[in-house]
Amino acid sequence: MFKIFKHDFLENYAPIVGTQVFLIFCWVFLSQKEGNVLVFLIANFFLFLGSGVLLVLIFAAAMRSTQQKLFGTEGYFTFSLPLSIDAILWAKIAINLTWVLLSILGFFVALFLSYLCHTKAPSLSDLSPEGLPYVLNALGLFLLFCLLLYLKLLLVLALLNIGRFKRFPKLTGLVFFVGISFGLSLPSQILQQIFLSPKNAILQDSYLAFYANYFFLDTGTSALFLGLEFFKAGVLYAITRWLLVHKLALE
């Protein structure tokens, strides 16, 4: 499992980490209180452009590590390794969540460096231990959302390769993704109607309403919401695993 993780990491880390370093530089530059307006606008443009490039690089890395290494030209080699299907899938999940974690880490590094550039070095008294649980909860919630997103992508790619759709594969994949997302959103929307007041729901009739309102929910409702999300992840993983074990036929 670690070898698969290491191989995917070494293959993709250079452009992703390089873009993150560039974004950190742009963010620190923009944090300065004084500077030329034109230069400030240019830095904003590069920050926006770099953020888009980072998203594209992470998506490309996810597609390369999944489509190419599981279903493409390297799929036969991957599944011939002396590893269980679970070890292979968990390595793919881990590496793609790692890109998200690195991006979040880069954001906090940018904030920290911006703070150092025009204030004083932080002391222990500057850190708020009361806010740490909220940051960790938000981080965990975002990773859960990304996990579900990747598992949906993994299931779509499995369906496309098992079904061997020759005509309009990208359009078919988009239809599969939208259909899976819609099916998974129905239980959340039902819970939203039961537990979220229309006045408090930030995103009406949306699967994302629970994510947007998570920190305003009572303990029981938030536990039910998290349980449902983890159940969805388990269902997606189980279906994908079954398809790969029983239906996948590599050429």
Q: Comparing 9 with 210, which gets the higher pLDDT? A: 9
Q: Residue 212 — pLDDT band, cuts 50, 70, 90?
A: confident
What is the average pLDDT across 134-162? Answer: 91
The Cα-based distances of 79 to 92, 134, 238, 250 in angstroms read 13, 40, 18, 9
- State whether 48 and 151 are in the same domain: no
- State whether 21 and 76 are in the same domain: yes
Mean pLDDT of the chain: 82
**So what's the pLDDT on residue 14?**
92
Nearest by Cα to 6 from 68, 94, 104: 94
Domain extent for 177? 128-251
Say whether pLDDT at 33 is over 60: no
User: Do the Cβ atoms of 71 and 164 come closer than 8 Å?
Assistant: no
Report the phi/psi class of residue 35: left, alpha or beta, with left for phi > 0 and alpha for psi in -120 to 50. left
* 105-114, 125-134, 148-157, 171-180: range with lowest mean pLDDT: 125-134
**Domain tally, the chain:** 2
- State whether 88 and 6 are in the same domain: yes
* 56-60, 136-140, 176-180: range with lowest mean pLDDT: 136-140
- State whether 17 and 107 are in the same domain: yes
**So what's the pLDDT on residue 228?**
92
- State whether 132 and 122 are in the same domain: no
**So what's the pLDDT on residue 204?**
56
Q: How far is it, in rounded angstroms, from Cα 231 to Cα 69? A: 27
- State whether 112 and 148 are in the same domain: no
Tell me which of 92, 127, 162 is where a domain ends: 127
- State whether 119 and 132 are in the same domain: no
The tokens 């974004």 sit on which residue? 23
| Proportion of the chain above pLDDT 90, given as a percent | 33
- State whether 2 and 98 are in the same domain: yes
- State whether 114 and 213 are in the same domain: no
Tell me which of 127, 155, 189 is where a domain ends: 127
Burial (CB count <10 Å: 0-12, 13-18, 19+), residue 219: exposed
- State whether 134 and 238 are in the same domain: yes
- State whether 22 and 63 are in the same domain: yes
What pLDDT, in 10s, does the model give residues 20-31? 998 888 887 777
Whole-model pTM: value is 0.86
Report the phi/psi class of residue 164: left, alpha or beta, with left for phi > 0 and alpha for psi in -120 to 50. left
- State whether 64 and 162 are in the same domain: no
Tell me which of 76, 92, 127 is where a domain ends: 127
